[in-house]
Structure 1
C-alpha cells in the first residue's frame, strides 16, 4: 500500500467517526427491541448454540433466520456495554469505515487506470451519503453492513485468485445474513463479463483451482439450503404479507426508487409508506420494462464497457433477494447498502472523463456535495437521537402505517400524555386491521392504558378481541391476569399467567406480575423467587429490583438500598424507585442523599404531595444540622 493510500484510509477513518460522532447516544429502534434489548440469547453464553439452530431471539415470534455471526457480534457488544448503545454504534461505524476502504480497493482493482484522487472522492461520497445513515444508525441493520463487508472481501480475494480466503468469506457472509447467497451470482457475473468468451470457453475451465472453487461454492450453497431446511424451519407457519406477483410489482418500482433517493436523498425516513400493488399499471409496466432494459444493457455493454455492465449486474443481483423474500417492510433505506456498490462503480465510470477534463470544477462540485451530504447526515443523526422527535417526523410523512401510530403512541405514553396515546392507538388499530398486521399488539397496548386508568371493561373488550385474532400472544395473559387480580380473582389470574408462560417461558413481565401478586399477599419468599426468575430472563428489569428492595427493607437496609440503586440506574424515570431509596436514606440519617432523591421524585412526579412534605421536613433537618 502506498503512503498516499495510507493517508486516504486514515482520512476515511477520521471522517467516518466525525460524521457519526453525534450518533453515539441514538437509542434502540424497531427490531433492536427483540434482536438486542429483550433478547436473552445474546446475554448468556449458554444460549449461543441456539444461533446455529434457527434462533435469533428469545422473543417467541421470530424463528428460522440463519444469522449466528451477526448475533454473536451483538453478544460481544452486550458484554462490553450491556444495553448502552455506545459500543453498538461504534461497531457499526467501524464496519462502515471498513466497507469504505474495501470499496476503494474494489474500484481500484476494477479500474486500474483511474487516478487515486477520483477513487478517494467516490469513497468519501459513499461514506457521507445520507441514504446510508439508516444502515449505520439502526443497530439491527448491521446485518447489511457485515454481509457487504464479507461479500466484498470474498470478491477481492477471488480477483486475486486467493480461492481459500474467498471461500471462507462466503461462509462468513452466509452466517451473517441470507443475502450472502448473492456471492455466487456476483462471481459468475464477473467471470461472464470479464473472462468468458465463446472462443476461450474451454481454456477458461482449464484452471483446476478455479474449477474446484466453483464446485466448492456450489456444494456449500447446497449444504446451506439443506442445513437451513433441517434446523431453521419454523414450526409455526406464518402467512406471507403478499403474493409473489404483488411483491414483484412492488419491488420493480422500489428498484428505481432507490436510485431516485441516491440522486436526491430527501425525504428520508425510518418507515416509508408504500401501498400494496396487486395488479398491473402503467408504473409497474414501465418498471418491469426498465428492469428488462437493464438486463439487456448488461449484454450490450459486456464488450463496449464491461465495468458498466458489471455495475448494473451487481445492482440487480444485490436487490434480487428482495424479489423473493416477501418482507413485512417492503421498502427500507438500509437495504440499498449492498446493491449500492454497483451504483458507485457506475458513478466512477460516468465521472472518470469529466474528472480528467474538468478537474478543478469537478473537485469543487464534489467537495460541495460531500459537505452538503455531511450536514444532512448530522441532521439525520440529530433526528435519530430522540425517539419522540423521530416518530413525530415519521408520522408527519407517513401517518398511514400502524407501526408509526403505535410507536408515537408509545412516546406519548412515556410522557404521561395518555389521551394522545389512546387517540393514536385507535388509529393504529384501524390501520393494523387494514394491513392485517399488528392487530394484537395495538389492542393490547391500548388495553394496557385502559388498565392503568382502571377502565377494566374497555381493557377486557380489547383483550378478548386480541385473543380472537391470535390466542398465542403471551401479553394477552399477562394483562388479563393483572385485571383479574384487581377484581379479586387471584386464582384465575394465576391460571392465566401459567398459560402465558407456556407460550413464552422467558416472559419476565409475567414473572414480575407474579412477584407483585405475592408481594401484596406478603409471601416474600415467592416474591424473591419470581423477581429473581424475571431477572434471569431480563437482567435489565428495574421493576424486579424494586420489588427485591421492598422485601429486603426489613432485613437488610444496605442490600435494599443496593437494589433500589440498581433499579434507578436501569430506569431513572421511575419515581417510586427514587422515593423508596429516599425513605431508606432517611432511616440511615443520610439526609443529603435523601433530599437528592426526593427532588428527583418531585421533578418526575410534580403532583406527589407526600414527596413535597418530606422535602420540607428534610430541609428543616438540614438547616438545624447546619
Structure 2
C-alpha cells in the first residue's frame, strides 16, 4: 500500500461509499427552520434579490425571531430554487451534498499537508485520505446534510478550510491575501469564521515555529508568539470589520440572537456538551434533531463532573501531544475541536446543544484520531508490511467507515418526513416540548387531529407559554370544527406573542375558512404589517378582498405581491379579477402544473378541511406529471377511506407501497381500508 494507484483506488471506493450512504436522502423534505427560511421565504424565489441579501437581514427569514445576515446561504438557496423551478427538495439536498464533497477533497490535502510537516512516512497520504473519507461518511454528518438550512455549517466550514489550506499550502503567496478573501466569503455563511485566526495562530506556533505549548511560556519565545499575532493581524482586522458590518445590519433590522440562559451555568453545561460531542465521534448512537438538554444548575449533577473532568483531560492531552513533533497533528486537531465550539459555548444560546454543531468540530477531531491511529500503525510497520496483515488493516478501516455509512443511511430515513423526524425526537428527547409540538404538526398534516392535540398537550407540560403551540392547538381544534376551543387557543397565542405575525396569520386563515371575512381581514392586515415579506398573509388578504369585492385594494395588493414575487400565478389571477371587478376561481394557470411538493401539501390541506374529492383531484394532478409519487397515492388512499370507497383506497395504498415500501403512513391507511372492507 504505497503507490499512487492504490491511493486513487481507495479514493474512488470512499467516494462510492459516500454516495451510496446518502443515496436515500435526496428526496428528504424541508424541516424545522427550513419552513421560514426556505418554504415560506418568497425572497429566495428571484435572483434579483441577491445583492439585497448582503445588506438586508430581513430577507433571510420571514420570521422576525430568526433574522440574520447569511447572504451566501440565501444566495445559494435562491439559485437552487431557480434551477429546481420551485421548492423541489432534491435540488436543495444535492447542492449541499456537492459542497460537502468539495470539503472532503480539501480535507484530504489539508490533512496531508499537516501530517507531512511532522512525518515523511510513505503511508501519510493514505492516513490523510482515510481521515477525509471518515469525516465525509461519519454518521454525525447526516444531522447537518439532511437539514437544508444547516448548509450554513457546510459553507462556513468549506471556506474556513479553504482559507486555512491556502495559507498552509502556499506560504509564498500569502502576500496576495487570497486566504483573507476566502475567509470573508465564509463570514457570509455563518458567524464561526472569527475562530480562523486562532487556528492559524496555533498552526504557526506548532508547525512553523516548531514550538510546543510548553515552549511558548519560555523566555525568548514570547517574541515568536507575538510575531505570529503580527502576521495574522490583517486577517483579524478584515474579519472583525466584516463581522461588525453583519452584526450591525442584524441589530439595525431587529435580529434576535436567542440568548436566554444564565452565562455561568451555561458555560459549565458546555463542558458536558463537549464530552457528548467527543463521545459521539466514536459512538454516534443517540443523535437527535432537537435535544432536550437544558442548562444544568445543580452543581452536584454527575454530568457537570464528567464535563469538567473531560475538559481538563482535553487540555492536558493537548499540551502533552504538542511536545513531540510527530504527535503535534493530534494536539492541533484537538485545538481545532475545542476552538470550533467556542462560538456556541461562550454565547448563552437558547439551544444548549445541537448535534449539527459537530460538523465543523469534527474536522479537527478526525485529524487527531487518524493521526493517533496512523502513528500506531507506522510503529508496527514491519508487521503491517506483510500483504495479509495490510489487508486486515484495510478491512478494519473500511469496517469503521462502513458502519458509519450504515448509520448515515439509517439517519437519512429518520429525516425522510416531518413525522419520522419528530417521532424520533420525542423518543430520544421526551422532555422536549418543541419536539412534541412538531410531532403534532406532522400528525396534523396527515389529518390525525386528535393525535396532534394529544402531542400538543405533552408539549404544553414543558412549554406552557409557547405561542406557536397555542396557534397549532387552534388549527387542530378548528379542523375538528370545535370553534370555541379554536378561538380560545388562537387568542391565547396572540396574547403570548402580540408582535409575532404568526399569531395573526393562521388565525386569519381560520377566520377566512369560516367565512368570518371582517375578522380575517383585520388579522391578515396586521400580519402583513408585521411581516410584509411573507406570502401567506398576502394570499389570505387577496382572497378576503375578492370576497368582499374590495377591487381597488385587491388590485393594489396583487401588484405589490407581483413586485415581491414576479410572475406569481395567484397574484396575476387576482389582478385580473380586480380589473374585471368580478370574482374568479383561483386555480393554476392552464397548462402550468405547480411543483409536486406544493400540490402534495395542498392535498393534505384539502384532506384536513374535509374536501376529500378535491384532495383526490389534486393527487391525480400530481400523478399526471409525477406518476411515481408515492405520497400522492397515499393521500388518495386516505381520502378514499374517508369516502368509504375501500377498493379504491386499497388500490391506491398498494401502489404507494410498491413505489416506496418503507412509506411511513401507507401501511396504516391500507390496513384501515382492508379492515373496513371486511
Find the counterpart in structure 1 of residue 639 from structure 2.
605
Contact 1:182-1:318 within 8 A present in 2 as well? yes
Instruction: Tell me which of the two structures has the higher relative contact order, counting C-alpha pairs closer than 8 angstroms and 6 or more residues apart.
Output: 2
> Normalization by structure 1: what TM-score?
0.83
Supply the distance in 1 between the matched residues of 2:242 and 2:322 (Cα, whole angstroms).
31
| Secondary structure at the counterpart of residue 360 of structure 2 | coil
> Normalization by structure 2: what TM-score?
0.77
Out of 286, 289, 292, the residue aligned to residue 273 of structure 1 is 292
Out of 19, 28, 31, the residue aligned to residue 29 of structure 1 is 31
Supply the distance in 2 between the matched residues of 1:256 and 1:393 (Cα, whole angstroms).
22
Matched, 1:372 2:419: no
Task: Name the CA shift for 1:64/1:394 in 2 (closer, same or farther; >3 Å).
Answer: closer
| Secondary structure at the counterpart of residue 251 of structure 2 | coil
For structure 1, which segment, 354-363 or 178-187, has the greater mean C-alpha deviation from structure 2 after superposition?
354-363
Matched, 1:243 2:262: yes
Matched, 1:404 2:435: yes
For structure 1, which segment, 554-563 or 123-132, has the greater mean C-alpha deviation from structure 2 after superposition?
554-563
Find the counterpart in structure 1 of residue 77 from structure 2.
74
Long gaps (5+) in structure 1: 586-597, 613-626
Matched, 1:395 2:399: no
Deviations 1:276-330 (A, max 9, x none): 2124234324422432342243333322232222122111111111112323332
| Secondary structure at the counterpart of residue 262 of structure 1 | helix
- Once the two structures are TM-superposed, the CA of residue 3 in structure 1 deviates from its matched residue by 5.6
Out of 315, 318, 323, the residue aligned to residue 298 of structure 1 is 318
Deviations 1:468-527 (A, max 9, x none): 222112233334445666887644543333222211113332233223334444667866
Find the counterpart in structure 1 of residue 330 from structure 2.
308
Out of 483, 508, 517, the residue aligned to residue 535 of structure 2 is 508
Contact 1:186-1:317 within 8 A present in 2 as well? yes
Task: Name the CA shift for 1:77/1:350 in 2 (closer, same or farther; >3 Å).
Answer: same
**Matched residue count:** 593
| Secondary structure at the counterpart of residue 60 of structure 2 | coil
Deviations 1:28-59 (A, max 9, x none): 11111122111222222343333223345241
Matched, 1:120 2:106: no
Find the counterpart in structure 1 of residue 308 from structure 2.
288
Deviations 1:368-418 (A, max 9, x none): 222222222222222222332222222222222122111111111111111
Out of 173, 183, 193, the residue aligned to residue 186 of structure 2 is 173
Contact 2:477-2:483 within 8 A present in 1 as well? yes
For structure 1, which segment, 387-396 or 47-56, has the greater mean C-alpha deviation from structure 2 after superposition?
47-56
Task: Name the CA shift for 1:561/1:74 in 2 (closer, same or farther; >3 Å).
Answer: closer
Contact 1:144-1:338 within 8 A present in 2 as well? yes
- Once the two structures are TM-superposed, the CA of residue 258 in structure 1 deviates from its matched residue by 0.9
Out of 146, 153, 157, the residue aligned to residue 144 of structure 1 is 153
Long gaps (5+) in structure 2: 212-217, 621-631, 647-678
Contact 1:318-1:339 within 8 A present in 2 as well? yes
Out of 84, 88, 94, the residue aligned to residue 90 of structure 1 is 94
Find the counterpart in structure 2 of residue 495 from structure 1.
522
Q: How does 1:204-223 map to 2 (within 5 A)?
A: 213-223=231-241
Contact 1:102-1:153 within 8 A present in 2 as well? yes
- Once the two structures are TM-superposed, the CA of residue 64 in structure 1 deviates from its matched residue by 5.5
Find the counterpart in structure 2 of residue 617 from structure 1.
none
- Once the two structures are TM-superposed, the CA of residue 346 in structure 1 deviates from its matched residue by 1.4
Find the counterpart in structure 2 of residue 102 from structure 1.
106
| Secondary structure at the counterpart of residue 339 of structure 1 | helix
Supply the distance in 2 between the matched residues of 1:135 and 1:348 (Cα, whole angstroms).
22
Task: Name the CA shift for 1:206/1:17 in 2 (closer, same or farther; >3 Å).
Answer: same
Out of 363, 366, 387, the residue aligned to residue 341 of structure 1 is 363
Out of 253, 259, 263, the residue aligned to residue 282 of structure 2 is 263
Find the counterpart in structure 2 of residue 384 from structure 1.
415
Contact 2:87-2:598 within 8 A present in 1 as well? no
Supply the distance in 2 between the matched residues of 1:180 and 1:328 (Cα, whole angstroms).
21
Contact 2:164-2:200 within 8 A present in 1 as well? yes
